């Protein structure tokens, strides 16, 4: 698997051997030493990644479920006491691709990593990172060179998350919910308890979760998608991965009526940060809002075991905002060795710039749609005309090709439809 055997404590004994002293200062970390592990992941990496970043998407378990590990390189840096920076990456010809995802890396972290990478790998023209929480030019996600960073850099919005800051108690959390949400949840719970006295909520920990539990939850989400004529969210090929992740870092909140699972919420946790992956309920219980009930009970459980943050994934912000979720935008980062290297990589440069402009246009459209008045009506009519024109063009192409002109329908499901 490409994992190097190394003593697993704060700073492994042989970490100081075969490395090279850091030649560049870090902006906000007192780094005294760093080391590259070529085509290897040291034993201490697993625990260090979880301690440093507290993110399920940056654990070796999660990475190993979807990617090969044998071609991953490691960069580790330490102060006098512990590892303070750990970045996994791959080398694809002239591009260094950061494997770590959905983690916070400061401008100093990225600059320090870049100066060491460009020194060690002369052929590397750029470094790319996906879905990073970084302050580098994050106020505007501008597609131009940032003058305050050590290298030419582009940062553009890549992934949206809905994040809930969890208080210290369930009562405090309930008190923070909007009045209408509190009343709705209490009314739904009373109604459900009166109609179904056997209804109860339980939590299954990692070793208690079985493939059957996961399949039942996936079946509940499929039922919701079928009721909306939408494509199922989870493919059969993903179920085994979900089971393995759940049995490593997960817990499953379930609601039962007559000992049958009627709603479930699958989460994982790393440190004090929790991640919601799937939530579903049987459509026949829509009137009792079991999806939201099981979500609320699961949030209570996360708080009870010390959780301080819940990531609810992207999409469907309206109902997630009722649970106090706030949008967090993670950026795609491209760092170029120099301006000359950026010009050599002109395709990447232009593609990033175009994506940033498109994102700005979408934000403008969203803002206009949220308002009343002539501007909104004009925008709605313009989009309707554009869709009609595109549909007519597809039919014309199909007729010219001898087809029947059958339109296609694509809809995206959501794993967190409560």
Please check whether residue 391 is in contact with residue 407, taking contact to mean a CB–CB distance below 8 angstroms. yes
Lowest-confidence range among 22-26, 60-64, 127-131, 153-157? 22-26
Region label for 128, one of left (φ > 0), alpha (ψ between -120 and 50) or beta (otherwise): beta
Higher-pLDDT residue of 401, 160: 160
Spatial separation of the C-alpha atoms in residues 202 and 250, rounded to whole Å: 14
pLDDT of residue 410: 34
Residue 14 pLDDT class (50, 70, 90 cuts): low
Q: What is the pLDDT of residues 213-269, one digit of tens each?
A: 999 999 999 887 777 777 777 777 789 999 999 999 999 999 999 999 999 999 999
Tokens representing 334 are: 């491209």
Neighbours of 90 (CB within 10 A): 16
Neighbours of 372 (CB within 10 A): 7
For the chain, domain boundaries: 33-160+329-360, 167-307
pLDDT of residue 413: 39
Q: Look at residue 357 and tell me whether its pLDDT is greater than 80.
A: no
Q: What is the pLDDT of residues 258-304, one digit of tens each?
A: 999 999 999 999 999 999 999 999 999 999 999 999 999 999 999 99
Spatial separation of the C-alpha atoms in residues 300 and 175, rounded to whole Å: 13
Nearest to 111, CA basis, from 52, 29, 36, 26: 26
Question: Taking the model in full, what pTM does it have?
Answer: 0.80
Percent of the chain at pLDDT > 70 equals 77
For range 356-365, the mean pLDDT: 63
Can you identify the CATH homologous superfamily of domain 33-160+329-360?
Gcn5-related N-acetyltransferase (GNAT) (3.40.630.30)
For range 143-154, the mean pLDDT: 67
Q: Tokens 């060491």 belong to which residue? A: 116
Residue 158 pLDDT class (50, 70, 90 cuts): confident
Residue 144 pLDDT class (50, 70, 90 cuts): very low
Fold match flag (33-160+329-360 vs 167-307):
yes
Architecture of the domain defined by 167-307: 3-Layer(aba) Sandwich (3.40)
Cα dihedral sign, 263-164-247-160: positive
Higher-pLDDT residue of 406, 162: 162
pLDDT of residue 236: 77
């Amino acid at each position: 698997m490409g994992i190097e055997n190394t003593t697993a404590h704060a700073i492994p004994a042989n970490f100081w051997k075969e490395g090279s002293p850091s030649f560049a200062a870090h902006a906000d970390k007192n780094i005294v030493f760093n080391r590259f592990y070529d085509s290897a992941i040291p034993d201490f990496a697993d625990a260090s990644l979880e301690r440093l970043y507290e993110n399920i998407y940056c654990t070796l378990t999660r990475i190993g479920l979807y990617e090969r590990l044998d071609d991953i390189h490691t960069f580790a840096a330490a102060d006098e006491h512990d590892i303070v920076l750990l970045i996994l990456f791959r080398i694809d010809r002239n591009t260094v691709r950061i494997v770590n995802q959905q983690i916070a890396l400061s401008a100093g972290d990225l600059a320090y990593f870049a100066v060491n990478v460009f020194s060690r790998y002369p052929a590397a023209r750029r470094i790319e990172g996906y879905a990073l929480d970084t302050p580098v030019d994050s106020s505007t996600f501008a597609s131009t060179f940032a003058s305050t960073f050590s290298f030419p850099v582009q940062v553009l919005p890549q992934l949206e998350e809905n994040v809930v800051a969890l208080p210290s108690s369930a009562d405090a959390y309930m008190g923070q919910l909007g009045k209408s949400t509190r009343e709705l949840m209490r009314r739904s719970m009373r109604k459900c308890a009166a109609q179904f006295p056997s209804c109860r909520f339980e939590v299954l920990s990692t070793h208690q979760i079985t493939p059957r539990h996961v399949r039942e939850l996936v079946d509940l989400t499929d039922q919701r998608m079928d009721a909306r004529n939408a494509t199922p969210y989870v493919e059969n090929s993903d179920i085994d991965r979900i089971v393995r992740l759940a049995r490593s870092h997960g817990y499953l909140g379930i609601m039962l009526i007559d000992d049958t699972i009627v709603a479930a919420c699958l989460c994982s946790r790393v440190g004090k940060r929790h991640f919601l992956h799937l939530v579903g309920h049987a459509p026949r219980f829509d009137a009792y809002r079991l999806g939201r009930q099981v979500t609320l009970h699961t949030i209570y459980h996360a708080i009870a075991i010390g959780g301080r943050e819940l990531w609810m994934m992207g999409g469907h912000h309206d109902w997630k905002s009722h649970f106090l979720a706030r949008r967090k935008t993670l950026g795609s980062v491209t760092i170029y060795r120099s301006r000359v290297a950026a010009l050599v990589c002109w395709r990447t440069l232009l593609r990033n710039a175009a994506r940033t402009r498109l994102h700005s246009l979408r934000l403008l459209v969203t803002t206009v749609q949220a308002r009343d008045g002539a501007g909104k009506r004009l925008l709605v009519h313009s989009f309707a005309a554009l869709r009609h024109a595109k549909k007519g063009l597809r039919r014309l192409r199909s007729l010219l090709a001898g087809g029947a002109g059958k339109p296609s329908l694509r809809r995206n499901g959501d794993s967190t439809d409560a």
